[in-house]
Structure 1
Amino acid sequence: MTTTQDFATYLAGLPRILAGAAALFRDADGNVLLVEPNYREGWALPGGTIESDDGETPRQGARRETLEEIGLDVELGRLLAVDWVYHGPEYPPLVAYLYDGGILTANDLASIRLQEEELLSWRLVPREDIPEYLSGSLGLRVLVGLDMLEEGAGTAELENGQRVG
Structure 2
Amino acid sequence: MGAGALLTDDSGRFLIVEPTYKDHWEIPGGVVESGESPRTGVQRELTEELGLAVPVTDLLVIDWSPPFPDQPGRPDGLMLVFDAGTLTPDQAAGIILPADELRSHRWCTDAEAAPLLSPRLARRMTAAQKARAAGTPSYLEDGA
Same fold (TM over 0.5): yes
The one-letter amino acid paired with 2:17 is V
1:142-153 alignment, distance < 5 Å? 142-151=125-134, 153=135
Asked whether 1:128 is paired with 2:117, we answer no
Higher relative contact order at CA 8 Å, sep ≥6: structure 1 or structure 2?
2
Alpha-carbon RMSD across the aligned residues, in angstroms, is: 1.1
Question: Structure 1 runs of 4+ off > 4 angstroms?
Answer: none
**d(CA) in 2 for partners of 1:37, 1:29:** 24
Asked whether 1:36 is paired with 2:18, we answer yes
The one-letter amino acid paired with 1:41 is D
- Give the number of equivalent residue pairs: 141
Asked whether 1:80 is paired with 2:63, we answer no
Which structure shows the bigger proportion of residues in helix conformation? Answer: 1
Deviation at 1:51, TM superposition (A): 0.5
Cα deviation per residue 1:14-57 (whole Å; 9 max; x = unaligned)? xxxxx0100110001111111000001011111000001xx100
Provide the secondary structure at the position in 1 that maps to 2:2: strand
Deviation at 1:158, TM superposition (A): 0.7
Aligned counterpart, 1:64: 44
Aligned counterpart, 1:4: none
State the identity %.
37
Cα deviation per residue 1:61-120 (whole Å; 9 max; x = unaligned)? 011011100100111120000100012372211210100111011001111000112000
Q: Which runs of 5+ in 2 are unaligned?
A: none
Q: In terms of Rg, which structure is larger?
A: 1
Q: Which runs of 5+ in 1 are unaligned?
A: 1-18
